[in-house]
Amino acid sequence: MLFKLFFKRSFSVGVSNYQRTRIMSSSNLQPKFDKIFNKIDELKPSFIDRLAKAIEIPAVSGDESLRPMVVKKSEYLVQELESLGFTDIQVKKLGTQPPPVENPNLQLPPVILSRYGNDPAKKTVLVYGHYDVQPAALSDGWASEPFKLVVDEEKQLMRGRGSTDDTGPLLGWLNVVQAHKEAGIDFPVNLITCFEGMEESGSLGLEKLIAEEASNYFKTTDAVCISDNYWLGTKKPVLTYGLRGCNYYQIIIQGPAADLHSGVFGGVIAEPMVDLIKVMGTLVDSNGKILIEGVDEMVAPLTEKESQLYEKIDFSVDDLNAASGSNTSLYQKKEDILMHRWRYPSLSLHGVEGAFYGPGAKTVIPAKVSGKFSIRTVPDIDSEKLTKLVVDHCNNAFKALNSPNKCYAELIHDGNYWVSNPYNASFTAAAKATKDVYGVDPDFTREGGSIPITLTFEEELKTSVLLLPMGRGDDGAHSINEKLDISNFMGGMKTMAAYLHYYAESPEN
């Protein structure tokens, strides 16, 4: 053991990846972090208690009547930050919430900025988290009151709204500070917190605040770390380096001046719904292939290096079937599923506004219908170019129908994709930390969905962003019985701590 220790210390800098892997795998013990890891274990009851107090406040940002509770939770966080010795705590008001709102004077919940340490010799890591939660009620089918943290000793998990999304991970950063203080270990970096209370409702006001603070409060930031997503599955830790974007469109087909009866007008007028179905049918085929010309050509080619990342990932078609509750997968091979979820675009048809959709057999001819669809975007798709291709495609498809109706296709909203370099200093530090805590190399994953604020941080602060998830894929973040396994809570905090140390030591930013 001593021999191994010597090697680890002497070769901690400047060894090749191969050597490093060999040294790391030669021992499961990480004496370097013994003290801090032990302290985190020792403080477990007080960490669970801190989480329980936070979970008790029903900070549902999407429910106007609960806005005072969101504010109350922000006050609880400020009190905790103060007691832990965070400084320069700023409660940033974001003004009134824009419509649609019932109360026109509804104030947005504040963003909480704070610092721990301000040593110019150290690197600065900005950590983002959100303290608001999704709605939840016992009557939705929860096994226990959602706003009371239940510790299930048998299953070794904690159940409660916000446990994994995102109160547990957010408090993880505070707990890591407390553990360093109580263990008497110098905190390796300057920490900046950016905690918002509106994430589940579109992060209103946050983008503007980040832009404003980029050259002020956030000026010294070297790296951003967001702990607000999940492992792909339930067993293997992951680091996330990419998210798809989303361009949302509608095709409006306008025909007669009012809805008509098919017994009177059927067969003698051009029906908007028929045109719409035909146009929408030209967008994508049943195998998921996008039929709009020029889209595939914009997708960045797969490199050898990227391809290798997929081979190692712990995932199978069974995981997909379990998640979808069916056997409807378009692909059987793991690599195909993951690539089509993460690195290729997809087009989904969502619905038709203005069409008859209820049960029964209504004989209406809708006068005006809007077909909604979206495209999940990936590198190197340019949003403007894509919109032009989509609009041209819809117009041409409609023209081919020779219909006297009117057709109009438009973009409703777009959010760009994000892809980081999984080999940069921040990811490398997080990978080492993960290995120290869980004993395995993390899978490098991307996600099919979007976290728009990730890109905002990267662009405004001109720093790298790391997504470091704490919970598992089956935590039920927006569902009933949201939970966080205790091992993920503890392991997650240890990973956060070790990440900060490794990142502080790394020669680059």
Q: Which residues bind Zn ion (CB under 5 A)?
A: 165-166, 228
CB of 484 to Zn ion, least distance (A): 12
Which is nearer to Zn ion, 222 or 475 (by Cβ)? 475
Q: Note if 306 is an active site residue.
A: no
The residue written with tokens 């004989």 in the block is: 363
- 58 vs 109: CA distance, rounded Å: 13
Neighbours of 53 (CB within 10 A): 15
Among 132, 275, 482, 485, the one annotated catalytic: 132
Is 316 flagged in the annotation as binding? Answer: no
- 81: helix, coil or strand? helix
Is 130 flagged in the annotation as binding? Answer: yes
Is 501 flagged in the annotation as binding? Answer: no
- 74: helix, coil or strand? helix
Which is nearer to Zn ion, 191 or 453 (by Cβ)? 453
The DSSP element (H or E) to which 224 belongs, if any, is: strand 223-226
Which is nearer to Zn ion, 166 or 271 (by Cβ)? 166
Q: Give whole-number Cα distances, 447 to 243, 304, 417, 477, in Å.
A: 5, 20, 10, 15
Task: From 280, 252, 272, select the one nearest 365 (Cα to Cα).
Answer: 272
Which is nearer to Zn ion, 165 or 271 (by Cβ)? 165
- 149 vs 49: CA distance, rounded Å: 9
CB of 133 to Zn ion, least distance (A): 8
Is 393 flagged in the annotation as binding? Answer: no
How many CA atoms does the CB half-sphere of 334 hold within 13 Å? 14
Task: From 337, 301, 317, select the one nearest 446 (Cα to Cα).
Answer: 337
Among 56, 166, 196, 199, the one annotated catalytic: 199
Is 261 flagged in the annotation as binding? Answer: yes
Angle between helices 425-438 and 486-505 (to 10 degrees): 140
Which is nearer to Zn ion, 228 or 485 (by Cβ)? 228
Is 200 flagged in the annotation as binding? Answer: yes
Distance between terminal CA atoms of the chain?
A: 32
Cite the beta strand spans of 28-185 per DSSP E. 87-92, 111-116, 124-130, 150-152, 157-159
Q: Note if 199 is an active site residue.
A: yes
Is 228 flagged in the annotation as binding? Answer: yes
Q: What is the pairing mode between strands 124-130 and 223-226?
A: parallel
Phi and psi based region of residue 123 (left: phi greater than 0; alpha: psi -120 to 50; beta: remaining): beta
Is 434 flagged in the annotation as binding? Answer: no
CB of 165 to Zn ion, least distance (A): 4
Which is nearer to Zn ion, 165 or 222 (by Cβ)? 165
- 56 vs 23: CA distance, rounded Å: 45
CB of 316 to Zn ion, least distance (A): 26
CB of 199 to Zn ion, least distance (A): 5
Helix and strand numbers (H, E) in the chain are 17, 18
- 356 vs 1: CA distance, rounded Å: 72
CB of 266 to Zn ion, least distance (A): 49
Residues forming the annotated binding site for substrate? 228, 261, 363, 376, 450, 478
Binding residues for Mn(2+): 130, 165, 200, 228, 478
Which residues have a catalytic role annotated?
132, 199
